[in-house]
Structure 1
Amino acid sequence: MSTATTAVRLTAAHASVTVQSNTPSVTDWSRRYFGPWWNAVEPLAENAGAGPVVTAHLDETACDELTAHVTTSPHEETTYAKARLLLTRDAEGTVTAVSPEEGLAYHSEPAAGRLTLTGRSPQPLALATARIAREMVRADLLRDGWTLLHASAAVHHGHAVLAFGSKGAGKTTTALLLAGHGDQLLANDRVFIKPVGDQLHVLPWPSAAAVGLGLLDALGLYDIVRDRLLAGEKLHPTQHDDVTEALLAGRREPLWEPGGKRERKVQIFPDQFTSWFGMNLATGGHAAAMLFPRIDPAATPALADGARTLGEEDFMSGATEDRYPDHFGLAHGLNGGGSDLARTTVADRLAALPHHQIVLGHNTQANADFLTKLADNL
C-alpha cells in the first residue's frame, strides 16, 4: 500500500481532523468542500498525525482483501449513506466494514481517533472521506458541549439570524435572501451552537445545499446555474440526473421523486455560493434572533401572528440522522444532536432571544428588503 502523500487539516472551534491520502483528488475534495467554512490548511509536518486522522488510500487490492475478510466472517448488514454496508466489530470496538456497491472499505479505531478507508475509484473515496472527516469534527464538538440545530442561518454584522421550519416553510429562502443582499451565509440546513459566556456561538455545518428548481428561479439564480452547466461546470455529484437534465433543458418547475413526497433538488457545493452567486460565507457568529417564516405567494412580507417557538423538531438528533448513523463509533454514544444537557441549555438561552413569525411573498426584492430591515433592528 502506498504511503500518504498529501494532507489537509480541517478546524472548527477547537475541533480538528487531518485528512491524508495517496491520492491528491481526495484531499483536494476535502479542501474545496470544507475550506470556505472550516479553515482547511496544509498541516505542519510536526502536527500532521496529531488528533483525529482519516487516511484514505486508492488501493483496489487492499479494498478487495478487506471485503473478503468481512464477507467471509460473521457480520451484520445495514445501510450507510443510502448504500448497503456490511460490518464486523471486535471486543475492543474496532469496526471493519465494506460497502460493496461503492467499492469502499472502512477500518475504524474509535479509541485512537483513527479511521482508514480504501477504495477502488477516486470519486466515491473522496466523498466517503469527506463524510467521515465531518463526522469526526461533529463528534469532537458534541463532546465539548455543542449541539446541532435544524436551521438555516445568515450573519448580519456579526449577528446570526436563525431561521426554523419544516420543509417548504422558507428557512432556506430566508438565509439565501439575506446572503444574496450583503450578509454572509452560515448554514443552509443546520448549525452548531454552544453557550460561551453571555453569548450563543454558532458554527457552520458544511454540506451541499439542496435548493429546489422553483426556489432557485425565484431567487434569480436559475440562469446563473444553467449557464455554468452549459459551459461545462459541474454541481455536486449526488445531484439526481433528472435535475441536471431539467436545468440543461431550461425547465423550472419542481421535480418530484416517484410518489410525489420528496422534491429532487439542485445540489450546490459550498464554494459555489461564492464563485457562482457572489455570496460570502460566514465561519461563525453569535445568535441574535430566531425567525419562523412561512411562504404565502400573495403576501406582502411582514411580521405575522403566531405562537411558534423552538421545539424538539428544531434540534438534530439520532432520529434525524438516518443517512449517517454512527456505525463507526465516532460519537462515543452521543446522539447526532448532542447531549440532553447541551440541548436544554441552548433551548433556554434561545428562548430569551427575539423571535418573530414572518410571512414572505413571491416578490424577491421586497422579501430581501424586509429581512434586511428586520436584521438591522436586532
Structure 2
Amino acid sequence: MSPVRITTADGQSVAVTSTTDSVPAWTQRYLGSWWTAEPTTELYGPTVSADLAEDELRGYADVVEQRTPDTVEYAGAELLVAQDGDLITAVQDDRSLAYRWDPDFRLLRIVGTDETTLAAAAARLARELLRAQLLEDGWAILHASAVTTTDGATILTLGNKGAGKTTTALTLARAGWRLLANDRVFARVDDGVVRVLPWPSAAAFGFGLLDALDLYETVRTRLAAGEQMHPTQHQTVTDALLDGRRTPLWKANGKGELKPQFWPDQLTSWLSMPLATEGHVVGILFPQITAGAEPRLVDRGRGAKDDDFFTAVTEDRYPDVFGLLPPLGDHTVLRERLGGLAHQGVVMNHDATATALVLKEAVARLDA
C-alpha cells in the first residue's frame, strides 16, 4: 500500500509509510473518519516510518541499555527512554516495540515484531505529530464531548469525570446530531468564534450505555455474524457480547471497566451516528448523571476551568516522551469566549428516554 497522508480540516498533515500494508491502512481507518486520509508519494514534513524489523528493534534496545534511561508509562505499558543529543530512542519490551525520533528530519521511526501492535503504534504517533502541529498553531485540547448540526453549529459538553459527557453526546447523536467528539476536542478562537476539531480515536462504551441507547443487540448481532470490532478489545468483552451478557466487566487491577471498542467508522456503520470533521460552538451543556434523580434543567454553568484542559503536564496516557509538544499556550481568550456562550445545566438519570427528552429541551434553550 502507498504511504498515506493525514490532513486536518485546518491544514496540518503527517505522512505514514511502511513496507507492511496494514500500517498505513490502519492509520487511514483510525484517523480518516475525522481527518482526511489519502495515498501520497510526497514524504515532506513530519513522517512516521514503521516496519517489522527485529534486528533494528534489538539495535535500538542496545542503545537504550547502554544509557541510563527514564522509565515512564506510555499507552498502558512501560517505556524506557534515552536521549543522545537531539535523538530520542525508546523501547517497550512488553510490546516488542522501539521508537526513534529525529527532530532534524522530523522523522519518527517505529519498529516491532507484531503487525497489529506496530500498526496501532504508528497511528497513535501520527496523531501525536498532528497534535503537536495543532497546539503550535494555537489550538487547545478540551476534555469535552461535542455534537454538531449539518452546518457545523456545535453543542459542547463540559464536566468532571463521570458527569455524563459521553452519554450526552451519544444521546444527541442518536437523535440526529453529528458526533464530533466523545472525550476530547481541539478548540481555538478565530474572529470571536470558538472553532472545534475532533480528536480521532477508537471509541469505548460500557455495556450499560449501549443497553440504555438500545444498541447492545445491534452490536451483538453484527459480532455474531462474523464482523470484527477493534482488535484491542479484550476477549472477555467479545465473549460476553456473543453470549448476550450485560453485566459490566472490570479490569484485573480494578481500575476501570472493560468496554466494547469500536473503530471510528463503526460509529456510523454500526451505531448510525454520522461523524463531523469540524464545527463552531454555539452553546455549552453541563450534565450530571444522578441515579434516581428526576431529569430536569438546572441553573448550572461556568466557563472552562483548568481541569477541562489537557496539557503535557496533565496528560496521563500519552505523555510527551519525544518532546513533540510546544510550551503551554495562553488560552485566556478561549476561556473568556467559552464563559460568554449560552450554557445550560442538566440533571440526568439512567432512563434513556427521559434523558433524551431533557437533553432535547436543554438544546432548545441554547438555541433560543
Question: Do the structures match in fold with TM over 0.5?
Answer: yes
1:139 to 132, 135, 142: 132
Note the residue ranges of structure 1 that are not aligned, 5 or more in a row. none
Greater mean deviation of Cα atoms: 192-201 or 298-307: 298-307
How many angstroms does 1:297 deviate by? 4.2
Matches of 1:310 and 1:70, distance apart in 2 = 41
Equivalent position of 1:245 in the other structure? 239
Matches of 2:149 and 2:354, distance apart in 1 = 18
Equivalent position of 1:8 in the other structure? 4
Equivalent position of 1:224 in the other structure? 218
How many angstroms does 1:371 deviate by? 2.7
Amino acid of the structure 1 residue aligned with 2:317: R
> Structure 1 residues 237, 285: CA separation in 2 closer, same or farther (over 3 Å shift)?
same
Instruction: Report whether the alignment pairs 1:103 with 2:96.
Output: yes
Equivalent position of 1:130 in the other structure? 123
3-state secondary structure, aligned to 1:375: helix
Matches of 2:301 and 2:90, distance apart in 1 = 47
Q: Please report the RMSD computed on the Cα atoms of aligned residues, expressed in angstroms.
A: 1.9
Instruction: Report whether the alignment pairs 1:65 with 2:53.
Output: no
How many angstroms does 1:84 deviate by? 1.9
Do 1:104 and 1:117's aligned partners in 2 also have CA atoms closer than 8 Å?
Answer: yes
Q: How does 1:54-93 map to 2 (within 5 A)?
A: 54-91=48-85, 93=86
Equivalent position of 2:27 in the other structure? 30
How many angstroms does 1:83 deviate by? 1.4
> Structure 1 residues 323, 178: CA separation in 2 closer, same or farther (over 3 Å shift)?
same
Instruction: Report whether the alignment pairs 1:255 with 2:249.
Output: yes
Give me the identity figure in percent. 47
Amino acid of the structure 1 residue aligned with 2:245: R
Matches of 1:259 and 1:305, distance apart in 2 = 39
What is the CA deviation profile of residues 312-365 of structure 1, one whole-angstrom value per residue up to 9, with x for unaligned ones? 111112343122111112114x3xxx41x1x22211110010111112233323
Amino acid of the structure 2 residue aligned with 1:151: A
Do 1:97 and 1:105's aligned partners in 2 also have CA atoms closer than 8 Å?
Answer: yes
How many angstroms does 1:128 deviate by? 0.5
Matches of 1:245 and 1:126, distance apart in 2 = 24
Amino acid of the structure 1 residue aligned with 2:139: W
Q: How does 1:357-376 map to 2 (within 5 A)?
A: 357-376=345-364
> Structure 1 residues 124, 296: CA separation in 2 closer, same or farther (over 3 Å shift)?
same
How many angstroms does 1:85 deviate by? 1.6
Matches of 1:309 and 1:39, distance apart in 2 = 32
Note the residue ranges of structure 2 that are not aligned, 5 or more in a row. none
How many angstroms does 1:299 deviate by? 4.5
Instruction: Report whether the alignment pairs 1:264 with 2:277.
Output: no
What is the CA deviation profile of residues 264-301 of structure 1, one whole-angstrom value per residue up to 9, with x for unaligned ones? 22222111101101110000000111111112344454
3-state secondary structure, aligned to 1:18: strand
3-state secondary structure, aligned to 1:325: coil
3-state secondary structure, aligned to 2:162: coil
Matches of 1:164 and 1:255, distance apart in 2 = 27
Matches of 1:231 and 1:64, distance apart in 2 = 41
3-state secondary structure, aligned to 2:167: helix
Equivalent position of 1:324 in the other structure? 318
Greater mean deviation of Cα atoms: 68-77 or 133-142: 68-77
TM-score of the aligned structures, taking structure 1 as reference length: 0.91
> Structure 1 residues 261, 22: CA separation in 2 closer, same or farther (over 3 Å shift)?
closer
Do 2:192 and 2:337's aligned partners in 1 also have CA atoms closer than 8 Å?
Answer: no
Matches of 1:294 and 1:366, distance apart in 2 = 14
> Structure 1 residues 73, 310: CA separation in 2 closer, same or farther (over 3 Å shift)?
closer
How many angstroms does 1:258 deviate by? 4.8
Matches of 2:357 and 2:72, distance apart in 1 = 48
What is the CA deviation profile of residues 44-73 of structure 1, one whole-angstrom value per residue up to 9, with x for unaligned ones? x3xx11111111112222222222332234
TM-score of the aligned structures, taking structure 2 as reference length: 0.93
How many angstroms does 1:253 deviate by? 2.5
3-state secondary structure, aligned to 2:310: coil
Q: How does 1:171-320 map to 2 (within 5 A)?
A: 171-258=165-252, 260-320=254-314
Do 1:21 and 1:27's aligned partners in 2 also have CA atoms closer than 8 Å?
Answer: yes
Do 2:206 and 2:258's aligned partners in 1 also have CA atoms closer than 8 Å?
Answer: yes
Do 1:110 and 1:328's aligned partners in 2 also have CA atoms closer than 8 Å?
Answer: no
Amino acid of the structure 1 residue aligned with 2:227: E
Equivalent position of 2:334 in the other structure? 346
Matches of 2:37 and 2:290, distance apart in 1 = 40
Do 1:156 and 1:375's aligned partners in 2 also have CA atoms closer than 8 Å?
Answer: no
Equivalent position of 2:158 in the other structure? 164
